[in-house]
A and B are shown apart, each in its own frame.
Chain A
Amino acid sequence: DQQVKQNSPSLSVQEGRISILNCDYTNSMFDYFLWYKKYPAEGPTFLISISSIKDKNEDGRFTVFLNKSAKHLSLHIVPSQPGDSAVYFCAASGGDTGTASKLTFGTGTRLQVTL
């Protein structure tokens, strides 16, 4: 039972364009969402997060949008740079997971930014 889904395994975007990575969730009790970036041979690193009381959070080139009614969040990267090429995971917390120490991750989307 995949409670957090990233339906696009991969995405290719030209440098300078917008990258949009999508994530859907099924557990309506999730109340905090995070995006992580992962390079090969490294652990995931935290990128940006959003609480369910907000619908948008911005940090530099990265913006996360949350649509609670659709149980959908997206990560926008503008402009995309070659260094953004990585695997991106969305993660959610709350509900019956019960504690901030437990995150439920999606399966990841591999972003490739081409020159």
Chain B
Amino acid sequence: EAQVTQNPRYLITVTGKKLTVTCSQNMNHEYMSWYRQDPGLGLRQIYYSMNVEVTDKGDVPEGYKVSRKEKRNFPLILESPSPNQTSLYFCASTPQGAYEQYFGPGTRLTVT
């Protein structure tokens, strides 16, 4: 089944404790993105990647890192999480030349 998977689905952590949210897609898509969803703000792009080793900042990149060492994986790294990063996070992938993004199921992160 073609899909985007994210792990973990739920995470509660404390301020300053480094964490990684994994994202993997099995559709051989070139583009991958990370978004966060917050009430009243919709989905905002954090980082995106156009292919392996090619990443760029989205609208809200502060406090986040990404890497794209393999085509299928695009992990999101929070080196020192803070409470304002409490949010619902979505990973998405898109085949080259298309606009439609395929989203994972989301990761709900709470930073206390």
Interface residues of A (CB under 8 A from B): 4, 6, 32, 34, 36, 41-46, 49, 89, 91, 93, 99-108
Q: Is the CB of B105 within 8 A of A43?
A: yes
Q: Is the CB of A44 within 8 A of B43?
A: yes
Q: Is the CB of B41 within 8 A of A107?
A: yes
Q: Is the CB of B100 within 8 A of A34?
A: yes
Interface residues of B (CB under 8 A from A): 4, 31-33, 35, 40-45, 48-50, 58-59, 90, 92, 94, 97-106
User: Across the interface, which residues of B come within 8 angstroms of A6, CB to CB?
Assistant: 42
Q: A22: shortest Cβ distance to chain B, in Å?
A: 15
Overall SS of chain B's interface: strand
Q: Is the CB of B43 within 8 A of A32?
A: no
A72 to B22, CA, bound (A): 36
Q: Which of B44, B48, B105, B106 contacts A101 (CB 8 A)?
A: B48
A6 to B58, CA, bound (A): 21
User: Across the interface, which residues of A come within 8 angstroms of B49, CB to CB?
Assistant: 101
Q: Is the CB of A101 within 8 A of B100?
A: no
